Amino acid sequence: MPTFRAPRGTRDLLPAETPTWTRLERLAADLAARYGYRRIETPMFEQTAVFERGVGEVTDIVEKELFRIAPRTEEAESWSLRPEPTAGIVRAYVQHGMQTWPQPVKLAMTGPMFRYDRPQAGRYRQFWQFDIEAIGDAGAAVDAEIIELGARFYRDAGLAGVEVLLNSIGDAACRPAYVAELTAYYRTHVAELPPLERDRLERNALRLLDSKDPAMAALNAAAPHITDRLCDACAEHFAAVRAHLDALGVPYRLEPGLVRGLDYYTRTAFEYYVRGREGQQQALGGGGRYDGLVELLGGRPTPGIGFGIGLDRLVLALGEGSAATQSDAADPVAVVAGADPDDTVTRLRIATDLRAAGVPARADLARRKLGKQLEGAARDGAHFAIIVGDELDGGEVQLRDLPAGTQKLVAVGDLAREVARAHGAHRHGKDKNEVEA
């Protein structure tokens, strides 16, 4: 038999890890709702052109990392797995006429993305993003709202020391002159450029600035800064974003070299890092304004801004990768055991009734001796064992409180109420002791 494995660059999230993920997904959903961002889901694959036009043809994501789906027939459209959610969400905005809704349309999504990158720690071929988008508001205030929301997400998730790096990368009015200047700068160093960068120089010089190639670091550090060449409107917008962040008390660091790796950005660009780990590829999250994207994908000119937060990198930074959690939401409160190993019908029926009444319960369905069944109940961390024996003829079963070591007869019809009451009192008592301790 061949040995089957998850594809390179992908991972299985095992039950010891998923409580962390459930917690982060809930936090993302709660924060999004609190800030007025409504959930959207788009397909995990789109027409390839959505990404080529949206993200940009001369980008790592499209040139090197797109998972293209092999067409099944000659005339089939070209599809690709989504490398990021923004292009698909904007495609949906245009397709469903969301420009007629009250603006801005504020949307949130959490789900897997796919990039055919070289796998390493914190870089996967399937990874998860918490994504936020506000489409239809050109003002600087929403930029600050979104940057603050991302910072709060990290804080509420329990990750301290996250820093916001901030820049403005101009717009159609001021960027072309800057790109021409940048191109001229790199031309004078063309002999030092790695092959990919040399190839991109005349097509998209901005991409050289966020190159992952270490050979580019010194060259990029000395490159001209867009921030010194912004037009008045962009400079004004950038100043207003900073003023709003200052007013909210959100700290940030200006990083003139930050241009992001996707072509749709205009003006505000930002990234989140764990302080001291600002190296390439280590961004915990990032985003920015994309005032030309809606038009690029066939809609009316409409501004937009958003972020994508990488959940895999957040989990790594939290150090909760595979930490087994103390108590799991799937632990049973009660385990139904029985003296007759073969009577799985009664055990399953009682557990089913308990679950129908809202009590987390498990029936021991292995045909094994009562002693083994009780050992299993203790191992599961159950509070109660319900023991089916001869008393069943009188409609009763034993209810054993495992930590207390006490036991009493309870009518089967009263079980759910009795278990819920005793479990509630036990938990309440525990909480009280903890508070008093």
By CB under 6 A, the residues from 91 to 130 that bind ligand HAM are 115, 117, 122-124, 127, 129
DSSP strands (E only) in 105-179: 105-114, 126-135, 162-168
Number of residues that bind ligand HAM (CB under 6 A): 26
Minimum CB–partner distance for residue 420 and ligand HAM (Å):
43
Contact 116, 67 (CB under 8 A): yes
Closest to ligand HAM by CB, 287 vs 332, is: 287
> Running DSSP on this structure, what letter comes out for residue 313?
H
By CB under 6 A, the residues from 215 to 274 that bind ligand HAM are 261
> Running DSSP on this structure, what letter comes out for residue 392?
G
Long-range contacts of 118-126 (CB under 8 A, 24+ apart): 119/8, 119/9, 121/316, 122/281, 122/282, 122/310, 122/312, 122/313, 122/316, 123/9, 123/281, 124/9, 124/10, 124/11, 124/312, 125/7, 125/8, 125/9, 125/10, 125/67, 126/9, 126/10, 126/11
Give the residue at shortest CB distance from ligand HAM. Answer: 310
Six token digits for residue 74: 């000659």
Minimum CB–partner distance for residue 310 and ligand HAM (Å):
2
Which one among 137, 143, 145, 312 touches ligand HAM, defined by CB under 6 A?
Answer: 312
Given the rule CB under 6 A, which of 81-89, 156-164, 243-251, 338-346 is the region that contacts ligand HAM? 81-89
Q: Give the whole-angstrom CA distance, residue 69 versus residue 83.
A: 13
Under the binding rule (CB under 6 A), the answer on residue 88 touching ligand HAM is no
Minimum CB–partner distance for residue 107 and ligand HAM (Å):
10
Binding mask 264-303 for ligand HAM (x = CB under 6 A): -------------------xxxxxx-x-------------
Closest to ligand HAM by CB, 50 vs 410, is: 50
Q: Give the whole-angstrom CA distance, residue 416 versus residue 404.
A: 19
Residue whose structure tokens are 């990874």? 127
Minimum CB–partner distance for residue 179 and ligand HAM (Å):
20
Under the binding rule (CB under 6 A), the answer on residue 308 touching ligand HAM is yes
Under the binding rule (CB under 6 A), the answer on residue 153 touching ligand HAM is no
Residue of 258, 252, 294 lying closest to 93 (CA atoms) = 294
Q: Which residues bind ligand HAM (CB under 6 A)?
A: 84-86, 115, 117, 122-124, 127, 129, 131, 133, 261, 283-288, 290, 306-308, 310, 312-313
